[in-house]
């Protein structure tokens, strides 16, 4: 199997992260924002695993850490969705720019 260079994985992670960041900061729908946050977390996962195999000190540490990240992402998604549902029941909207009661 021809080896895929490390940089390819990192670039992939970078692109995914940037897409996720862009979406988190600009999308209107809260569900999409949550999805983008998941995207960012997954990008980090790819980075961790890539360094686990091809990094300066290859080992299993990166993969273990990726498992942690996945668990945290799942928990965060659950909480985020719960908050979203409560918000929707209160404000009848899933548009993030309509929730600005902390204005100056």
Burial class of residue 4 in the structure, from the number of CB atoms within 10 Å of its CB (0-12 exposed, 13-18 middle, 19+ buried) = exposed
- Binding of another protein by 24 (CB under 8 A): yes
Q: 14 or 96: whose CB is closer to another protein? A: 96
CB of 89 to another protein, least distance (A): 19
Q: Is 100 a residue that touches another protein (CB under 8 A)?
A: yes
20 close to 37: Cβ distance less than 8 angstroms:
yes
User: What's the closest the beta carbon of residue 14 comes to another protein, in angstroms?
Assistant: 14
When binding is defined by CB under 8 A, the residue of 1, 2, 25, 89 that contacts another protein is 25
- Contact criterion met (CB below 8 Å) for 31 and 83: no
Q: How far apart are CA 77 and CA 83, in angstroms?
A: 10
Least distance (Å) from another protein to the CB of residue 19? Answer: 14
Rounded Cα–Cα distance for residues 98 and 23 (Å): 17
Residues that bind another protein (CB under 8 A): 21, 24-26, 33, 96-97, 99-104
């Amino acid at each position: 199997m021809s080896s895929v260079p490390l940089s390819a994985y990192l670039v992939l992670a970078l692109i995914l992260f940037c897409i996720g960041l862009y979406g988190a900061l600009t999308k209107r729908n809260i569900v999409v924002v949550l999805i983008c946050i998941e995207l960012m977390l997954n990008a980090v996962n790819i980075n961790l695993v890539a360094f686990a195999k091809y990094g300066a000190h290859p080992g299993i540490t990166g993969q273990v850490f990726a498992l942690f990240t996945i668990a945290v992402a799942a928990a965060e998604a659950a909480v985020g969705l719960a908050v979203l549902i409560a918000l929707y029941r209160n404000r009848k909207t899933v548009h993030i720019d309509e929730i600005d009661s902390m204005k100056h």
